[in-house]
Amino acid sequence: MKNRYAVVIIAALSALISWGLYAIFTSFPTMPQAASAQAAHVDAAWTGLLVVEGVIYAVVMAFLIYCVVAFRAAKRTEQGEKFDRSRGRFVEVGWIAGSVVLTLALAALGAHELRAIVGDAQADIDIEVRSSQFSWEFYYPKYKTFGAKLYMEKGKRHRLILTSSDVIHAFWVPEFRIKQDAVPGKAIPLIITPTKLGEYLLLCNQLCGRDHYDMQAIVEVLEHAEFEENMKAEF
Amino acid sequence: MTEFFAAVVAGVVVFLAGFLGLSGPLGPQAACVIGYLAALLVFLAVVGGAKAMRTYAMGVEPEEKHGWTRYFSFDVDHKVVGIQYTAAAVIIFLVGGVLALVMRLELARHGLQFLTPEQYVTVMSLHGITMVVVALIATAGGLGNFIVPLQIGARDMAFPRLNALSFWLLPPAVILLLASPFLGGLDFGWTAYAPLSTQGTTIGKQLFILAFVTAGFSSIFGGVNFIATVLTMRAPGMGWARVPIFTWSIIATAIIQVMGTSVVAASLIMVTFDRVLHTTFFTADLGGNVLLYQHLFWYYSHPAVYIMILPAFGAILEILPVYARKPLFAYSLVAGALMTITALSFIVWAHHMFTSGMWMLLKLPFMINTELISIPTGVVFLSVMGTLWKAKLRLDSPLLWALAMVANFLIGGLTGIPLADAPTDLHLHDTWFIVAHFHFTIMGGAVFGFFAGFHHWFPKMTGRRLHESLAKLQCGLMFVGFNAVFIPLFWLGNHGMRRHVADFPAWMDPVQTFASFAALIVGASVIVFAWNVYSSLRGGAAAGDNPWEALTLEWQAASPPPHGNFKTPPVAAGHPYDYGVPS
């Protein structure tokens, strides 16, 4: 194989691997459905990383595959070529400059989306989320009602105030994306804006002991009227 | 051999005597701690520590031992310690691997199969901690102890007795870990987060903590020894620009071991105080701080992953030029990159805590610091790619392992970025995405890197060749099996599969079953490995001093090297990777 075609072959191979990754990622969606306003920002950050990293993966793998195929020794006596020092230095500086720029760009994207997720502290509805081994309890201060199922209202900003009475637990609804630990001795707020009606599963996401696997609760996102009705019914 | 069994028996007897005698007045927790400390000292004394101190005080040179029984003794030869570490790592790897297969069987379909949730959490915790020990000791402890003194042309380590001590602290730790499931089990993973770890009165939890601290001391002693050895005992002519890259990686590792381990030991001793003396370091109601534990724990335990991966980087970078028959590309830059990773590793720990409820504004610096590590890691890849370019590759088994490691670690490294990136980590944290990620770095990176180094240096360590075809078969099986197990787990994690759980929704069944079958392929590859080592040790071809035609100093010694290593003290006459012809 002639090395003068190396760039073309590696580029073609990179394109092929990238296309393969694209096909896989589109036929098996990489994230579950997004059901909160915050999820959109997480998914934006995720998609950005997926594209950049997919291309990096494809180029590096293409390079490695080309090398292994093209540079095999026919005889054990064959020796490789020493490289030209000055060209080597040029490659080193270019590589580092490129990786610095790329890293800072990814960090900037991350910081931007993080800011959007955190947002401001304003919320329409406060809910106290009380966790203990191995169950959840939800208290709605405005309605002075509580229960084992979390009701949320579509389109409203909810401030979940997470507390724990024993060990660390964590609040996670995969469709809402963002998660937060509930830590003994702290009341930690988590802002979530549900955007889709339906039932979801809340999972404890911090190992909390023997029955951690079973520490779950149902989350139901409702329209305004139904939500109000439920609050009264519970009361 | 007799010392070893005598030491185990004496240790167990002292522990039981202390435990049974004291648990009446002091309670089982305190009795367990005091009994263990006494048993540990007795074990170390009987196994050979007392004799080593006596001969040292009298100014007697340590005696040279012969035969296979020396591997069960307090032998101070770095080559014996290296083989002890390597063999211990392989044995613990088999134990951890069996635990992994037990988990994969349980996880083959939804619902609970044959384990109770309690048993599952115990098995998972033990798999975690045993494999952490393997990853910490296999390359740095095993290959490092054997190869580094040879590679720098030294007769032995700087502190041979300390070296033996650092190995002999490990067996008590492993015995404690393996005993813990029978004494109440564990329910806190390998991270032992407070307050889950300060609550509950089972002895098993306390044993885990004591084992962790013991292994930590072993690691600190090893690190001190490596730093002193490389600083003071390099052969004439070996300036810093001629230090082999594997030795560079071990220096970087040793710095982390010395600087970080004491902090995690402190956090676990605080847990012990909370359990035994009823202090309240981690009890929120009584003025303690729960997050303090996580900060102290990850201050060490993130750098600890570099204790696992840096020696693996060093091993594959050491191997590539030999089989590529050309110099290591960007040698000085990559040596600097290893040291840069070491420095950065201490300012990234809180990326494990993005969801912990720590101060919000801390997320940003920790996110950026962590992502900066991808720059020196990228330099490692640059060095790999530059070395392969226009090479004349000899596709021997060590090179295949190294290439497999690079392919795995590429995935491991890239999937680390979404975990360092705070917004995506809020979703991915504590899911199977992170499980797959760290298996790609630690199993795919550190363990594959260990196997690369193992196949490269086995002829030097034993004087015999491994069967090349079996080595390639193992590499292929393990690469395919490993990727088949863990690639689907990324996807499952994103879709809601949590860590640490024995049960999951039924729709995950096809993927989980697939992963369980693929795990059997990994298991088969380990059987091939065991058979290869066994049969090669018994009847492998003689290796000769330098089967791979390598230039570093260890290949100038005989295979296996005699006591004192070199007949005449070697001189580092040129660059260690001066292969190839001028272009």
Contacts of A56 in chain B (CB under 8 A): 414
User: What is this model's ipTM?
Assistant: 0.95
pLDDT cut 90: percent of chain B above it:
86
CB A25 within 8 A of CB A55: no
Q: Does the beta carbon of B386 lie under 8 angstroms from any beta carbon of chain A?
A: yes
CA distance A31 to chain B (A): 6
pLDDT at B88: 96
Find the CB nearest A73 among B188, B392, B430: B392
Q: Report the CATH fold assignment for A125-234.
A: Immunoglobulin-like (2.60.40)
**Long-range contacts of the stretch B360-368 (C-beta < 8 A, 24+):** B360/A118, B363/A114, B363/B422, B364/A111, B364/A114, B364/B422, B367/A107, B367/A110, B367/A111, B367/A114, B367/B420, B367/B421, B367/B422, B368/A107, B368/A111
Mean pLDDT of B428-451: 96
pLDDT at A2: 58
Q: What do you get for the CA distance between the two ends of chain B, in Å?
A: 56
Where does the pLDDT of residue A232 fall: very low under 50, low under 70, confident under 90, or very high at 90 and above?
A: confident
Where does the pLDDT of residue A234 fall: very low under 50, low under 70, confident under 90, or very high at 90 and above?
A: low
Those residues whose C-beta lies under 8 Å from the C-beta of residue B463, and which sit 6 or more positions away, are B542, B543, B558, B559, B560
Interval B169-183: pLDDT, tens: 999 999 999 999 998
Q: For residue B301, which of B364, B352, B344 has the smallest C-alpha distance? A: B352
Q: Residue A88's closest chain B neighbor by CA?
A: B330
CA distance B285 to chain A (A): 6
Interval A15-41: pLDDT, tens: 999 999 999 999 999 999 999 999 999
**How far lies A83's CA from each of A2, B325, B399, in Å?**
18, 12, 21
Computed over every residue of chain B, the mean pLDDT equals: 94
Contacts of A64 in chain B (CB under 8 A): 384-385, 388, 403, 406-407
Mean pLDDT of B63-88: 91
Q: Which helix (H) or strand (E) holds A109?
A: helix A85-118
Find the CB nearest A92 among B333, B375, B391: B333
Those residues whose C-beta lies under 8 Å from the C-beta of residue B105, and which sit 6 or more positions away, are B113, B114, B516
Interval B460-502: pLDDT, tens: 999 999 999 999 999 999 999 999 999 999 999 999 999 999 9
Q: Where in chain B is the domain with CATH 1.20.210.10?
A: 75-556
More confident call, B583 vs A68: A68
Mean pLDDT of A98-125: 91
Q: How far apart are CA B292 and CA B190, in angstroms?
A: 17
| Structure tokens belonging to residue A64 | 């490695």
Find the CB nearest A53 among B355, B372, B417: B417
Q: Does the beta carbon of A183 lie under 8 angstroms from any beta carbon of chain B?
A: yes
Contacts of B351 in chain A (CB under 8 A): none
What residue segments make up the domains of chain A, in order of their start? Answer: 3-118, 125-234
Given a cut of 90, whether residue B185 has pLDDT beyond it is no
Interval B377-428: pLDDT, tens: 999 999 999 999 999 999 999 999 999 999 999 999 999 999 999 999 999 9
More confident call, B479 vs B57: B479
Can you name the residues that pair with A190 across neighbouring β-strands? A160
Contact B393 A71 (CB under 8 A): yes
pLDDT at B121: 92
Handedness of CA A219, A223, A224, A226 (dihedral sign): negative
Q: Does the beta carbon of A91 lie under 8 angstroms from any beta carbon of chain B?
A: yes
Q: E strands within B266-380? A: none
pLDDT at B299: 94
| Structure tokens belonging to residue B559 | 């295979």
Q: Which helix (H) or strand (E) holds A189?
A: strand A188-192
What are the two backbone dihedrals, phi and then psi, of residue A43, each rounded to the nearest 5 degrees? -65, -35
Q: How far apart are CA A19 and CA A15, in angstroms?
A: 6
Buried b (16+ CB within 10 A) or exposed e, B261-272: bebbbbbbebbb
In a 3-state reduction of DSSP, which class is residue A163?
Answer: strand
Q: Does the beta carbon of B507 lie under 8 angstroms from any beta carbon of chain A?
A: no
pLDDT at B184: 86
pLDDT at A11: 96
Contact B355 A60 (CB under 8 A): no
Interval A173-188: pLDDT, tens: 999 999 999 999 999 9
Residue count of chain A, please give it: 235
| Structure tokens belonging to residue B14 | 């002292």
pLDDT at A119: 79
**What DSSP string describes B178-217?**
HHGGGGT---STTTT-TTTTTS---HHHHHHHHHHHHHHH
Count CB atoms within 10 A of the CB of residue B24: 9
Given a cut of 90, whether residue A81 has pLDDT beyond it is no
CATH classification number, B75-556, choose in 3.30.43.10, 3.90.180.10, 3.90.1150.10, 1.20.210.10? 1.20.210.10
Contacts of A181 in chain B (CB under 8 A): 355-357
Q: Residue A78's closest chain B neighbor by CA?
A: B392
- Name the DSSP letter for residue B243: S
Can you name the residues that pair with A145 across neighbouring β-strands? A140
Contact A83 B371 (CB under 8 A): no
Q: For residue B438, which of B261, B296, B305 has the smallest C-alpha distance? A: B305
Q: What strands, in cross-sheet order, belong to the sheet with A145-147?
A: A145-147, A135-140, A125-132, A158-164, A188-192
Residue among A61, A66, A71, A163 with most chain B CBs within 10 A, to mutate? A71
Q: How far apart are CA B384 and CA A108, in angstroms?
A: 29
Find the CB nearest B410 among A60, A106, A178: A60
CA distance A79 to chain B (A): 5
Find the CB nearest B189 among A117, A207, A211: A207
Where does the pLDDT of residue B553 fall: very low under 50, low under 70, confident under 90, or very high at 90 and above?
A: very high
pLDDT at A86: 79
More confident call, B120 vs A234: B120
Query: What is the distance of C-alpha B421 from the center of its chain?
Result: 26
